[in-house]
Chain A
Amino acid sequence: MSIQNKPHYVLPASALAQWLDQQGADLWWNVDGDSYLTALITFPCPGDELAAELRRINSTLLVLDKSQSQEAKGQVIDETRLDELVGRLGDDVPVTVGKGKPSWAENRVLYLSWKDRHEEWLLVEDRETTESSREEAAAKGGSR
């Protein structure tokens, strides 16, 4: 069953780009499952790069409401609603006593598809690459 048949909202790609900009240009993201975007950009990639590509594509996305809200009936939303639709990769990970969740568990995730394509895909935050990229930038800055 595709996102089209599940509780979802309609989201202009430019709104997702706007949301990505708001998260910070140096935050890295990964896309899993979209053969279109993954052919255009090398992933993981920084948010500003992905935002620019989304603006260029200028098409329409469907975003899944994982809470299965009855309110989600394909209405058009903008970037201000995305925070409430974001999940965490570790949402379904059980935590054993004395052990925290794995490092990737806090990465944010959106479940998406393009309006006219059946492929469902994930937009996932990549904190690990963000951190290593920041460290690299700091090291370069320090060595000057």
Chain B
Amino acid sequence: MARPRTDLNQRIKYILTHVETLDGRAKYPLPHYKQSGAETWNNLAYVERSFGQLTTLYKAVLQRHLTRLNAMLLVSIIENFERFLKEIAAACVNHLAHFVLDDRFNEFKIQGSALAVHFGTETLGESLCESSTWLDCGEINDRFRKLLADLFEPGTFYLFPKKGQQQPVEEQWRYETLSIVWQIRHSVVHNVGVITQSDAIKLRLLTKQQIESPRILAPTRDDLKCLKRFLDETAEICNRRVGERLAQLLTSIHTSNPGLFDPQDVANRISRTFETALAVAGVTGTASSGGLPTDE
């Protein structure tokens, strides 16, 4: 029997009509990250609970499907973190754009067509940061170092300090761990969970342990839990460090040109973005407008 003809072109476009509204707090990077992380974790808990109630399910089949789901959620957890990095970088660009004239934004490569879609909007940061991937600790470091450098200086801020002179020393271990996370994501996203021979070589170098290949990654619930915990902690630390460094930089800009902006206004705006009380030129901002938003 012939399959019925469907206008698949139209049906694919139709997908874009199935959308939900974004919560207001999603415009702030850390709350957005936390919300999405909670949703992912609750997805897993809900499916596990619901399937767990179906006592007639064949265990091996259930386990196979749950393992596949774990792999999908593992990617969601990592991509949520990648988006968070992109959003804090974009926020830094937006908060600095009016006050700097040096080459700090040259680290971002953007095509004219990508820029054109942002024309006339207040989204310079998004236009510079959205098109790049944020999946390599070295590249991420270079972007933030330049972005948050003192005026006309190469910069000394390392979001993920590497072994050696980079500060803070107590955060250096995250560089290696996060690099392993990026490589695991690569295997799941680009090879449908298969650790290829080249993946295994990279992972062997990163983990300094034997990695067999080809093998299919079969992440457990506990793996996801530890991954989420690592990225949750890292996001909190990144948010705090980037916010504090931005405040420090704006203070130094204000010192060299006191008439450039009102420190209270800028301190309030960056404090809201980073959800923490940050001080610019000795004036501390208000972190949150407070109060529970209503549905109205």
Contacts and interface: CB of A to CB of B under 8 A. Distances in A.
Contact of A38 (B38, B225, B295): B38
Chain A interface size, as a band, is: 20 to 34
B39 A38 contact: yes
B232 A42 contact: yes
B53 A92 contact: yes
Interface stretch (A16-24, A64-72, A77-85, A94-102): A94-102
A143 interface: no
Contact of B292 (A33, A42, A59, A93): A59
Contact of B31 (A31, A39, A92, A114): A39
Majority-rule SS of B interface residues: helix
Contacts of B25: 35-36, 39
A57 B292 CA distance: 7
Contacts of B42: 30, 32-33
Contacts of A118: 295
A36 B34 CA distance: 10
A126 to B, nearest CB: 9
Interface string B22-36: 010110100110110
Contact of A36 (B37, B49, B225, B293): B293
A32 B42 CA distance: 6
B290 to A, nearest CB: 9
Chain B interface size, as a band, is: 20 to 34
A117 B292 CA distance: 9
Interface of B: 23, 25-26, 28, 31-32, 34-35, 37-39, 41-42, 45-46, 48-49, 52-53, 55, 225, 232, 236, 291-296
Interface of A: 30-33, 35-36, 38-44, 57, 59, 89, 92-94, 96, 99, 102, 104, 114, 116-118, 129
27 contacts: A30-B45, A32-B42, A33-B42, A35-B23, A36-B292, A36-B293, A38-B35, A39-B23, A39-B28, A39-B31, A39-B32, A39-B34, A40-B31, A41-B34, A42-B38, A42-B232, A44-B41, A93-B52, A93-B53, A102-B52, A104-B45, A104-B52, A114-B292, A116-B294, A116-B296, A118-B295, A129-B225
